[in-house]
A and B are shown apart, each in its own frame.
Chain A
């Protein structure tokens, strides 16, 4: 089972560069989300999507764009990288509801350094 796959695992960017972090899930989950985790902190929500074509902002959306053209993919775009965006990025997916099998599944993370 692949689950949630994030690429790349590591990335170094120069200030001002742009890039896309990829996230794909093979569980046919409607919900997908992006989080960032800074050292010693919990995860903070960047953007989320409830289905193909629908996205919304989370707690820390500035500097990031998302789109959801398919159920499987939810890429995160950094428009102009800044050192403050150095972090570990996690993608998650889940089914809606509250019953069994509705928990969020997380990818293994992308470690991004902006110099």
Chain B
């Protein structure tokens, strides 16, 4: 799986958009970009994933550059409850081959949302 690079920490004021960058310059054509977050010491929570098109769900938006070498997770209106470590993961997903979809976690970005 391709390696990702994220800033170790970021701050964001409550109510503002939080933009979390991720560099994955060695990504290959069959690798997806996934985002998870881990609040305090809980189990990681899935946020969103995409291949090459921008994606949006009720939690966040994912913007992937045209060359797919980087992406940005956007939390449109950050709240104190969004304070967490955010992991950007790039992985190959094999369909119908019996190969597990394994997640390779880096150290992530620690997002601190403040009043």
Contact = CB atoms under 8 A, between A and B. Distances in A.
Contacts of A97: 93, 95
Nearest to B47: A103
B68 interface: no
A88 B102 CA distance: 18
Interface of A: 4, 31, 33, 35, 40-45, 48-51, 54, 56, 58-59, 88, 90, 92, 94, 96-98, 102-109
Interface stretch (B21-29, B70-78, B104-112): B104-112
Contact of B44 (A44, A45, A58, A106): A106
Given A42-B107, A96-B95, A107 B101 contact: no
Q: Is the interface of B mostly helix, strand, loop or mixed?
A: loop
Contacts of B108: 42
Contacts of A51: 98
B103 A104 contact: yes
Contacts of B46: 103-105
A40 B102 CA distance: 21
Contacts of A107: 43
A29 to B, nearest CB: 11
